[in-house]
Chain A
Amino acid sequence: MNTANLNSAADHHGHADDHHHAPAGIMRWLTSTNHKDIGTLYLWFSLFMFFFAGALAMVIRAELFQPGLQLVQPDFFNQLSTMHGLIMIFGAIMPALVGFANWMVPLMVGAPDMAFPRLNNWSFWLLPAAGILLIASFFVPGGAIAGGWTMYPPLFIQGGISHDMTILSVHILGISSIMGAINIIVTILNLRAPGMTLMKMPLFVWTWLITAFLLVAVMPVLATAITMLLTDRHFGTHFFDAAGGGDAVMFQHIFWFFGHPEVYIMILPAFGIVSTIIPAFARKPLFGYVSMVYAVASIAFLSFIVWAHHMFTTGMPAAGQLLFMYTTMLIAIPTGVKVFNWVATLWRGSITFETPMLFSLAFVCLFTIGGFSGMVLALVPVDIQLQDTYYVVAHFHYVLFSGSAMSIMGGVYYWLPKWTGHMYDEKLGKIHFWLTAIAFNITFFPMHFLGLAGMPRRIPDYSLQFADFNMIASLGGFLLGLSQLLFLYVVVKCVRGGAPAGNQPWEGADTLEWTLASPPPYHSFVTPPVVK
């Protein structure tokens, strides 16, 4: 870096950063290579998709409010449940976490931007194309895909044009994820501030580094599986068609070899967010940092050897069932270590309960319940009773909603003051938290009972014995959906104004982003900070 650059860097504090040469208006967002702009785009995209897929869930819960078919026909119901899952995973949770990575990884490691800013722009702008394909697939003849987000053949092979649109869309999403992941890996490995060794990185950065490797490893596997579906559909191959010597179960093996690491892709960065928030509000360093890093790495490794636990009822040999049961049970060990470390971080802290902390504490409790139901499902005999029932629906919403989604919300409240320069409305934030936490449990806890009693998942209508709990779950679901409008309101209100946040609104926060102004200058850490 030459002297002129350093001099201009020195000017970059306060309002001097307005002199960058970015275009204004819509072109700023279309052409931006700035990690903060792109992070913001990811987060807004994810919020939009969250509401879209959430609206689908509202129709699902309305149809399931009582037995019988009232609002929608079975075909459309299947479209709703399939697209709710697909969009929440690929459109809401994953982009939100990538948005966090874009905003926070450079700030936390003291880098001026992501390693490949143009690639970063491209990674984001692929998403709207993929999103439009998915949403548009509702309006083509035959409607959207309806065979479940897992796209199992032969059912998937039967579908119409929307199935090809979905394959294309998932390919685009996959390319976007792989490019984003490579960008994150290179940024973390190459652009850390002097003195920031790997074992000094904030845990959020660690979780994203490991997650990015998972993404690079498994997104191509998904791409392979759906390409095979595509050629089976149109080009006369029989990968999954028994009539041509194919094997429908092979798809499930390939899919879940992607699918299980995918589950951790959605939870590991959430672990990172929570591990950042809890120490900040306990005013005490994260307990067991080193073991936390190893736990995340172990979980990532194990995620590659547990996939067939999604397939216990396909009828694999006893040896296969036992192997995958044992490896799955092993995941409880590093996950347990993380929970114990969070509790130990709280122990003898000086704790306060701002909204981000409330979300993080709820995360620890509710994610643990999801972990317990995961333990129950790991046991082959019990899984055979519960596979494809509402128990599984309860389980993965405990890890995905109260796990990923609620920690994302906690992260948004935690960093909103940094992003916008304004404090959010603490009172409304707390109301949003309590509504969400309570409504979430009303919605999903009864689903454990439904699954145990024998209600299959993915059905538009059910027998009378399941009526009461379904009604409770639907009422909870409507409240949960409505509460998120409050979230939108609080976020918009905070973006538009509020009490000045100052550099460091949280007393216990100690990562690098809090050394900058709020909002941080457009180009931050042009001169790298030195980490002791």
Chain B
Amino acid sequence: MSAKTIEIAKGIPLRKLGLTVLLLLSALILPLPASAEYALNLPVPATAVAQDIYDLHNLILWICLGIFVAVFVPMFVALIWHRKSAGHQAAKFHDNLKLEIVWTIIPVLILIGMAWPATTLVLSMKDTSKSDLTIKVTGHQWKWEYEYLGEDIRFISNSSTSKDQIAGAEPKGANYLLEVDRPMVVPAGQKVRLITTASDVIHAWWIPEFGVKQDAIPGFIRDTWFKADKPGTYRGQCAELCGVNHGFMPIVVEVVPPEQFAAWKNEQKAKAAATAAIAGKTLSLAELNKMGEKVYTDYCAACHQPTGKGIPGAFPGLDGSKMVKEDKAGHIDMVLNGKANTAMAAFGKQLSDLDLAAVVTYERNAWNNKTGDVVQAADIAARRR
């Protein structure tokens, strides 16, 4: 008996490994609610679907823990007691058909038990019928566009985390990399159907609390849905590698009471009318430059850089570029239509004539370009095909 105890003590290094693994696994399994720090499980669900996913995940983890114990307890028993140094002689057996059949059939039964709840959940996640509101989500490098179908509301949602925070020049805010200038706003308690697509490369729209992740693919329309009951702000990120600024493409959804949603819609429509009113006017160089700088920062600086120098080999510089300094029509066409097979998008689809006029004007006058050219919204409209 005492010899055996000594052998167990000798077995500790190996057992330690097993124990560590077990401890880590059980830490994974504890269904702790997600706190801001040290979240160990899926975030606290905000929709029924997310709740079902959360429960399904916990169920699977318990099953896995059960299997882990059932398999590795015998293994560690063998490692401790059936050691050569404990004087154990090797048995000769090497086959047992009954055993093979048993440990084939038991997993089949476990798998059926897992597949059943998963199947019903898949079917409900796919059911986008009877929605109260449809929003078209378009992924662009590297921002989201939301269009409320039938409502005449359309806007672009950009990351609002400052470059200084990313570079470490100023302290990082609480929602670092998870904040936008204009969030998607939806009414609480209503079924929102999203249809997704993209203008350039594949993106993926994802809010973990909703249990929704849907790729946005150029040339395809896909759909998904969510129904969030509790008003609040929910944050996510683009989930499909989409180029340089993939990590800086956040998604924010504000869930608000239905009355507040109605008020928000009216506000958006009023804003759109105000923008349309100045679009037809002829603006001065200074006005266009000021607007253009903002558009440049939001849409162009990621590749062409705030300095206009670009990144050699990857993104051409605009400062001193021949096209920008001389070829006005070519410059407008490039911004409107983009360049095939490169990251240069066709911004004609994303921006208004006024915004395009402003940014072209800005580029032709910023840095050392100083051409003095003024491009008006009407000039852009004239070159649209």
Contacts and interface: CB of A to CB of B under 8 A. Distances in A.
A437 B17 contact: yes
A314 B215 contact: yes
Contacts of A388: 204, 213, 239-241
Contacts of A146: 243-244
Q: Which bracket fits the contact residues of A? A: 35 or more
Contacts of B244: 74-75, 78, 146
Interface in B120-175: 121-123, 125-126, 165-168, 172, 174-175
A385 B53 contact: yes
Nearest to A459: B247
B313 A313 contact: no
A358 to B, nearest CB: 8
B57 interface: yes
B178 A351 contact: no
A351 B83 contact: yes
Interface stretch (B111-119, B287-295, B355-363): B111-119
B90 A462 contact: no
Given A387-B213, A452-B42, 20 more contacts: A74-B245, A147-B243, A152-B241, A155-B201, A155-B242, A157-B341, A248-B202, A321-B126, A340-B99, A349-B82, A350-B83, A361-B75, A380-B118, A382-B60, A384-B125, A388-B204, A388-B213, A437-B17, A453-B39, A453-B42
A348 B43 contact: no
A352 B84 CA distance: 6
A524 to B, nearest CB: 28
B5 interface: no
Contacts of B323: none
Given A75-B311, A337-B103, A329 B247 contact: no
A361 B85 CA distance: 17
A22 to B, nearest CB: 42
Interface of B: 13-14, 17-18, 20-21, 24-25, 28, 34, 36-43, 49-50, 52-53, 56-57, 60-61, 64, 67-68, 71-72, 74-75, 78-79, 82-85, 88-96, 99-100, 103-104, 107-108, 111, 114-115, 118-119, 121-123, 125-126, 165-168, 172, 174-178, 196, 200-202, 204, 206, 208, 211-215, 217-220, 222-224, 236-248, 311-314, 340-343
A158 B243 CA distance: 9
Interface in A232-273: 232-233, 242-243, 246-249
B350 to A, nearest CB: 16
Interface stretch (A51-59, A168-176, A367-375, A476-484): A367-375
Interface stretch (A65-73, A112-120, A184-192, A489-497): A65-73
A322 to B, nearest CB: 6
A74 B177 CA distance: 14
27 contacts: A68-B165, A69-B167, A75-B311, A140-B313, A141-B314, A142-B313, A146-B243, A155-B201, A155-B242, A158-B243, A160-B314, A242-B219, A288-B99, A318-B126, A329-B111, A330-B111, A348-B90, A351-B84, A352-B84, A361-B79, A372-B68, A382-B118, A388-B239, A452-B42, A453-B208, A456-B239, A461-B247
A248 B202 CA distance: 8
A350 B239 contact: no
Contacts of B79: 346, 351, 361
B107 A332 contact: yes
Contacts of B108: 333
Interface of A: 67-70, 74-75, 78, 140-143, 146-148, 152, 154-155, 157-158, 160, 232-233, 242-243, 246-249, 282-291, 313-315, 317-318, 321-322, 325-326, 329-330, 332-333, 336-337, 339-340, 343-353, 361-362, 364-366, 368-369, 372, 375-376, 379-382, 384-385, 387-389, 434, 437-438, 441, 445, 448-449, 452-454, 456, 458-465, 468-469, 508
**Max chain A CB contacts within 10 Å: which of B36, B166, B174?**
B166
Given A314-B215, A346-B79, A452-B41, A376 B237 contact: no
A375 B64 contact: yes
Contacts of A325: 115, 118-119, 122
Contact of A349 (B50, B90, B196, B340): B90
Contact of A248 (B165, B217, B237): B217
Given A155-B242, A463-B177, A464-B174, A350 B215 contact: no
Given A283-B84, A361-B79, A337 B217 contact: no
B161 to A, nearest CB: 9
A332 B176 CA distance: 40
B100 A291 contact: yes
Contacts of B50: 385
Chain A interface main SS type: helix
A471 to B, nearest CB: 12
Contact of A454 (B61, B103, B201, B208): B208
A453 B118 contact: no
Contacts of B118: 325, 379-382
Given A141-B312, A315-B215, A346-B75, A385 B208 contact: yes
A449 B25 CA distance: 11
B122 A321 contact: yes
A155 B219 contact: no
A364 B75 contact: yes
A463 B178 contact: yes
Contacts of B68: 368-369, 372
Shortest beta-carbon contacts, A-B, top 7: A242-B219, A141-B313, A459-B247, A315-B222, A453-B39, A142-B313, A350-B90
A68 B89 CA distance: 58
A318 B122 contact: yes
Nearest to A162: B313
Contact of A381 (B40, B125, B206, B241): B125
A451 to B, nearest CB: 10
B107 to A, nearest CB: 5
Contacts of B341: 157-158, 232-233
Contacts of A283: 84, 90
Contacts of B28: 448-449
Given A337-B103, A352-B83, A461 B202 contact: no
Contacts of B220: 242, 248-249, 315
B71 A158 contact: no
B175 to A, nearest CB: 7
B71 A348 contact: no
Given A155-B202, A352-B84, A456 B237 contact: yes
Contact of A333 (B14, B107, B215): B107
A376 B34 contact: no
A353 B82 CA distance: 12
A365 B39 contact: no
A75 B52 CA distance: 38
A443 B200 CA distance: 35
A318 B123 contact: yes
A414 B96 CA distance: 28
Contacts of B49: 381
B20 A441 contact: yes
A78 B176 contact: no
B114 A379 contact: yes
Contact of A315 (B111, B165, B224): B224
